[in-house]
Structure 1
Amino acid sequence: MTLFVCFLYKLSIILFVISIMLNKVELKFGDDSITDKLKALISKLPSSSGVYLMKNKEGKIIYVGKAVSLKNRVRQYFQSQTNMQAKVRAMVSHIDEFEYIVTDSEMEALILENNLIKEYKPPYNILLRDDKTYPYIKITISEDYPRVIKTRRIEKDGAKYFGPYSNAFIVNDIIEIIHSTFPIRNCKRNIQKSIEKKERACLNYYIKTCLAPCLGTVDKDEYMEMIYEIIEFLESKNDRLVETLKDKMYQASMKQDYEKAMIYRDKIQGIKEMLEKQKIVSTSNTTDKDFLAIEKNEEMSCIFMFFVRGGKVVGTENFIFDKDNNGEKDDIMQSFLKQYYINTGYIPKEIYINQQFEDMELLSKVLTNKKEQNVTIKVPQKGDKKDMIDLVCQNAQETIKRREAVKKSEQQKTKDISYELKVLLDIDKDIHKIESYDISNIQGVDSVGGQVVFIDGKKSPKLYRRYKIKTVQGANDYASMEEILSRRIKHEDLPDLILLDGGKGQVNVVRRLFERENINIPVFGMYKDDNHKTMGLCSDKELFELKKHTKLYTFIASIQEEVHRFAIDYHKSLRDKKVSYSQLDNIKGIGNKRKMSLLKHFDNIEQIKKATLEELLQVGSMDKKSATAVYDYFKKN
């Protein structure tokens, strides 16, 4: 007994020491790197489950995570970085503060984490950027006379849903076959009201593609029999439908109605072709399943999916995660499954994957609660399901190979264009970053500038900039171009080449500006022919005409088109805004057309206020009555 008491005493001391060690975790990887603010926040962390939100100095949420114990999980980020991934180290270096939300359970934390990631889209979370929703075939069973329609939303409305289908064209084909084979309705009419009001049937009744239950003459049992046949067809019990169509084809042939017989023949062929596209997975187990596999290399990751419905693969899909989101396989799979299935309308009963992850059991419970049926997530080890996962893995690998081949091809194309441009324009250094500028205005009104950026041959919309012309009055493209470039060169990260949408005059103005400011960036113009089509490049002294249908010409033309579009869109947005929110709206008889004419003529509201009656009458769209209305309004106000 004494020995047992001694043992318990020693054990309590050991546990006490361990608890002290756990509560005094050394916060290092450089004491200077952890601010007093972070230390204070860490010291107050609770041990309960919850979600934490990491923020940078601007207060922007850069990462959202969940934890069984907030104290233990968050502290891990500020301990040794020895085994920490590079991406996590980068994220930690930007943390200025964090917030946390306590939850009642880990399951609640997982759901909240997913919702916050969807809301804030933090840059250091692995994001499912593809927000597409897949089409389903819906049979409105709860209606007296059900319809068969395409939908992208699953609701708890008593309807039967079939899908998802990765190809919307296949869905359209199936629905077309159903409607052309079965004379069911496709309208949104309230059948009972139509019967009571004795409304006329629509055209579909007269062309014999609908029995017109709205007339009140259709036997409901007969109609529902067709619906059950359609359900059998969609549940892959297709033999009966094909046999029905064959009977109709033979009957039409016997009556020598060969045109109708050919229609039935084409429908049968269409169904067979559609079925041939679907890989048979199982004829005994028709439970809905999804198979997902992840493969990766240093540059990218790919998750490939097979959708299995009624024992057949009805669709496939792939998702690519680039270098910025290319973490460990288990992290990517876990983040993907959370975002994809918690946010989707339909969840299959069985999900098979090739990569285990930490929250598999927890996510399975969350999905079970959402579906209100048991949902399993498993990594198959043998048998048919393992063979299927291997096939999905192979498809993921092939997708990565194709992407790499396309990427290398594009890189080589960009390299060739860059070299050709460098030689043509006699530029010493390599060209990686190109900026292009254009001016847009209408008779000098609302003059603006647009800047577009191409890096290694690709658009970089995040670097696009808009400029309001501040110092130039009226239509003066040369002075306007000089203004926006003088503003641009005051900032960092200057380009390797500048292309102006214009000719020698614009180039000359900008080159003189750069000489005064000691800026050494090559500047060339992109000039057009009489039909406003790209013709070539020019310096302030010579022209470089480009051969059409070459890669270089196509690239330069795409830059010129993009900068022109961007500048015009900005000008239009300002003009529309100016027209929409004008004092002229308060004047009777002044609509959008007259507003536009007045603003073009006088440039701004202040000039209109000062105008005499005679000056107002000089505007093309103004008559004496409208001009007097404008003149009197501003005199009174």
Structure 2
Amino acid sequence: MESKSKKLQDKLKTLPRSPGVYFHKSKSGEIIYIGKAALLKNRVRQYFQSTRDMDIKTRALVEEIDDTDWVETESEIDALFLESEMVKRYLPRFNILLRDDKSQTFIRIDMKSQWPTVSFTRNPIDDNAEYFGPYYNGFAIKKALRYLRKVFPYYTTPPKDNGRPDLDAHIGLSPRPGTSQAEYKATLKRLIRYMEGGRSAILRELEKEMHQAAKMHDFETAARVRNNINDLRSLQHKIMFGDREFLDISKDKALTNLATLLGLSNIPVRIEGYDISHMGGTNVVASMVVFTNGVSDRANYRKFKTRIEQNDDYYNMQETLQRRLSEKNLKAWGKPDLILIDGGKGQLDAALKAVEAYHLNIPTISIAKREEEIIVHRTRSNIGTDTLIESMNNPTDDIAVTISGEYYIINLHVGQFNASSHSKNLRAATSHSKYTDVTKLFQRIRDESHRFAVSYHTVLKRAKQTANVLEEIPGVGPATRRKLIRTFGSMRGVLLAEESAVIQAIGKKKAKLILPIIKPRV
């Protein structure tokens, strides 16, 4: 401890006795490690006590720590979720050195199944299920789900047809006997909303249901809902489970430097990222991801399917932004402080046309895929250019700005070159410039918008493949096809479904038309 600066020692004396997330930084200001603590005061100070019992990697970390910052949270689970989000964004090099992939846990919910289950995995796959994570403390996540299961009963294994209720159902951890598929999926949707930060809205809904049941003299239902409300309120003191644990904006170096770089009058609280996904102009979709205070805000993500399908990314981007910035959606979703487009000059120009069509002054830029360079229009991007012009006149190792026609091309990783389409080697770079955190924030937003767009495109493509098979069956219309897809998730799900399940989903009359064709052995 004596080797650390007096300034850091004095700062550590102000550590609170509350849960939170801490950020260890090097002399250059780089965030080199992010961790969470039940008691910040105890956990953070442990790093600066005797290093005798530390392993070699942890000793190396401690030797590099020059400053420490932290954010308080209301509970350990708050800290757990904030830690997960910040590690994904900043990719601190000591988090990679001190953890292996086996410690990461994902929550998996297969909402497309007939009777969805909730489970945990270390290796998410593209199986049409929803995944939440990764989280770096599997024990805490599983404990949180045990609490939530009392409020939102769910299955961990699919129930057997006509099977007797098991012990979980009797003690309220699985759906009670007689629960329909629709009721069960509604409960799971509430669980997901809770994980995405919708606790307050769910409480209001439950209170409304309780009063309505009491008004109808259904006192058994009213009592059950009342118990759920009480259990849910008690979680506020034990767990806060969601994506709304945002970093204190005044401590976010990336957002501060971003505002300086682009000459923004205020720190961009709401950043929206956009990407297009399609295959040869079919199943054209667009994603809108939202980052609030630099953290992904999944509850506000939106997806679009273009009205006209064509292999023209410029048109697709312009249509998407025009729909997003309509008066109706601006009122419902709010106005972004910064728009980030995944693409080059053409995609940026298309987005700017949509912004200008509504006479809005929203800062709008793009990030080129290969070299991860930022593209800004010299006059139309609605940003300040003083920092960019100064960088052109006085080149540094932190930033390189060049002019290409009507655009500024901004390189925030001078001297580093990419060898793939999506920045794999830039992520592993060891050099640190003033704008490294800005680069990582842009990468995080771009990757999320790409992931979200591709996942939606994949869903539509699979649905279309399923529909094509079913379209060949005489007497089977669009409504029946949609019902089968919603119920079983995919054509493979239909093929694997029991005959009784298909009959239950669409009725005996339609099932007699479909089953002999898709399940000839039945």
Q: How would you bin the TM-score normalised by the shorter chain?
A: 0.3 to 0.5
The structure whose Rg is larger is 1
For normalisation by structure 2, the TM-score amounts to: 0.37
The structure with higher relative contact order (CA 8 Å, sep 6+) is 2
